[in-house]
Amino acid sequence: MPSQVNRGPCQIWAALMWSLKGLAAGWRIEASFRLEVILCVILLPIGLWLGHGAVEKALLAGSLLPVPAAEMLNSGIEALVDKSWPEYNTIAGRIKDMGSAATFLLMLNMLLVWIVILGARTGAW
């Protein structure tokens, strides 16, 4: 039987520090991540202000955070692929394109949520 891992305050603190280290690296290295975080900082309060009721506020604000999260995952995948295949490789290119597509799809999702909610309010829907 595998031994249980102790998940006390020290381990939670260490996990938080690793996460903050990753966010700092993403901010320092990835221009796309910086842009997406800036957009989140601008749009999150606007979404909370424009949302009528808890559900709309949650959808408008909640549709923002998956975008920079996916960008972080995509950046990690790209770094791993670049390290694993320094020369051009068709499969490596496909992996990187698919990671980019995941971020793009979440951006479309965010845009769709904002258009549907705010468009319904203006009578456009």
Where b means 16+ CB within 10 Å and e means fewer, 34-67 reads eebbeebeebeeebeebbeeeebbebbbebbebb
pTM: 0.84
Catalytic position from the list 30, 56, 71, 87 = 71
- Please indicate whether residue 78 is annotated as part of the active site: no
Which domains are delineated in the chain?
A: 32-122 (1.10.287.3610)
What's the pLDDT at 43? Answer: 97
List pLDDT tens digits, range 20-51.
999 999 999 999 999 999 999 999 999 999 99
CA distances 120 to 51, 113, 115, Å, are 12, 11, 8
> How confident is the model over 86-108, as a mean pLDDT?
95
